[in-house]
Amino acid sequence: MTTQEQTFIDHIYAFARRLLLLRLLNRLIWLVLLILVLWLSVAVADRFFYFSTITRAGLWVIHVGILLYLLGRFLFSPLKDYWRLKPKSDLTQYVRILSKAYNDPHEDLVTAYQLITGRAQQGASGALQRAAIEKILKQYDSLVFGEQAKIRPFLPPLSLTAAVVIGFGLFISLHFTEFKRSTLRLLNPTKAYLPQPEYLLTVSPGDTTVVKGKDLRIIARYQGPSLTACRLVYWQPDRPQNPRVVFMKEKSQVFFYDLKNIRSDLMYAVEAEPRNRHLKDRIFRSPEFKVKMLIPPEVQEVQITVRPPAYTRMPKMVLEKNVGDFSAVAGSRVTVRIRSNKEVLSSAWVGFGSGTKVPFRLRGGSGTAEFFVRSADEYRIFLRDTSALGNPDPITYHIAVLPDDAPRVEIVQPGQDMESVPDAIIPV
């Protein structure tokens, strides 16, 4: 192969490489446009129709398949052709393209290339082939093959490209937040990526229960525009038209207020007033919550009966109702009868300071317990209702032990020394 022939082959190879690069560019542009159209259409659909989790998962699988196909068709295949192209490869198809570009009806370039590379059918003598090659090379010697690989034919229509790019950019500029959330939902179907509210007002404890007479702290945590004030609004369920409004105390964006000595069921809500003048007429209000008051069991009546030991011949002692302190001789039997404010009690017992417990025999909301006085002590009466709620702060009663001295005998009559005759009767 002569130097002129090698130069001819090199020019064809350079043209082929440039042509493949332009084809790769063309495929990349189409790939980007197709991805933008697919991305925009699905994101818009999710924005307006909000696909379910299952639908998003199905779309994710479909999109991955389409993306892999597009990458293989528009990127990997042109890359493979480009990297496989070598100077010794068969460049016939690229020479035919050059022949068409130069209006060569007889495909002289193809003939010259095939004769040089030995791909032509052997029919003429070597001298005739050499003469044909020289003639063709001389005819195309001044031409630059690379000029025929122009970029314009490989670009998509300008109107289509502009429509896609402008539409995509316009939608993003007007609906960036929604577009972002829709895209994230499609990339991760298991998460909803719901929009963040303009403010977040979290109130605790929410719906709750509280024992009658106890205090309840309401806490409100706020995120959003700065506030002028945060108020607690509460009312009785049967009197919603007469709510009470109090200002909550604030510490590090946490607001709180203590409701003291609760005596009835309540409803409450928290209102936040923004400082921003554009939001001046708006009040951020939490949902309404319920506070159910629990009535604990209480001893409404207690009756103490003390029975001293029989040898004392002392009568039994019935204390006045609701009197629990008493004095008794050691060994006395004490009966405690109670009546509570509950129709049914689950358990009740007498608890002594020494740690001893004596259970009540219950009947509905009443009960009876018995114990013996052994020493001075103190006791309290404990109740539990069917909700396991106990009586708060039971009263402490005290037991005092009366002295029980040994018997003494005193001779009252005659009461003095005297003399007596035998067999006399002396009254004592």
Distances (CA, A) of 375 to 115, 352, 358, 372, 425: 132, 11, 16, 9, 48
Which of 225, 267, 231 has its CA nearest to residue 250?
A: 231
Q: Does pTM top 0.85 for this prediction?
A: no
Q: What 8-state DSSP symbol labels residue 225?
A: S
167-210 pLDDT per residue, tens: 778 877 777 777 777 777 777 777 766 665 667 889 999 999 99
Q: What is the dihedral of CA 20, 26, 27, 33, to 10 degrees?
A: 170
Q: Which residue has the higher pLDDT, 299 or 193?
A: 299
Q: Is 50 left (phi over 0), alpha (psi -120 to 50) or beta?
A: left
Quote the pLDDT of residue 124.
Answer: 52
Distances (CA, A) of 144 to 93, 94, 148, 202: 18, 14, 8, 75
What is d(CA 188, CA 295) in angstroms, rounded to the nearest whole number? 50
Q: How many CA atoms lie within 13 A of 216 on its CB side?
A: 27
Res. 148 pLDDT band, cuts 50 70 90:
low
14-56 pLDDT per residue, tens: 878 888 888 888 888 888 888 778 777 777 777 666 677 787 7
Q: Which residue has the higher pLDDT, 14 or 106?
A: 14
Strands (DSSP E) contained in 185-324 are: 200-204, 208-211, 216-223, 227-235, 244-247, 249-251, 254-259, 266-274, 284-285, 289-294, 299-307, 317-318
Q: Which domains does the chain have, with CATH numbers?
A: 3-187 (no CATH), 200-294 (2.60.40.10), 299-402 (2.60.40.10)
Helices 126-140, 108-117: crossing angle, 10 deg rounding = 130
Q: Is 169 left (phi over 0), alpha (psi -120 to 50) or beta?
A: alpha
112-122 pLDDT per residue, tens: 777 777 655 55
What is d(CA 210, CA 263) in angstroms, rounded to the nearest whole number? 10
Mean pLDDT of the chain: 83
Quote the pLDDT of residue 139.
Answer: 65
The counts of H helices and E strands in the chain are: 8, 20
What radius of gyration do the chain's Cα atoms show? 53
What is d(CA 243, CA 229) in angstroms, rounded to the nearest whole number? 18
What is d(CA 50, CA 425) in angstroms, rounded to the nearest whole number? 124
What is d(CA 76, CA 67) in angstroms, rounded to the nearest whole number? 12
241-277 pLDDT per residue, tens: 999 999 999 887 799 999 999 999 999 999 988 876 6
DSSP string, 314-355: PPPEEPPTT---EEEETT-EEEEEEEESSS-EEEEEEEETTS
> Residue 405's beta-bridge partner residues?
none
E strand or H helix at 43: helix 3-49
Q: Tokens standing for 295?
A: 């009535």
What is d(CA 298, CA 393) in angstroms, rounded to the nearest whole number? 10
Res. 62 pLDDT band, cuts 50 70 90:
confident
Say if residue 125's pLDDT is above 60.
no
Quote the pLDDT of residue 133.
Answer: 65
Do 394 and 350 form a contact (C-beta atoms < 8 A)?
A: no
Determine how β-strand 200-204 pairs with β-strand 284-285: unpaired
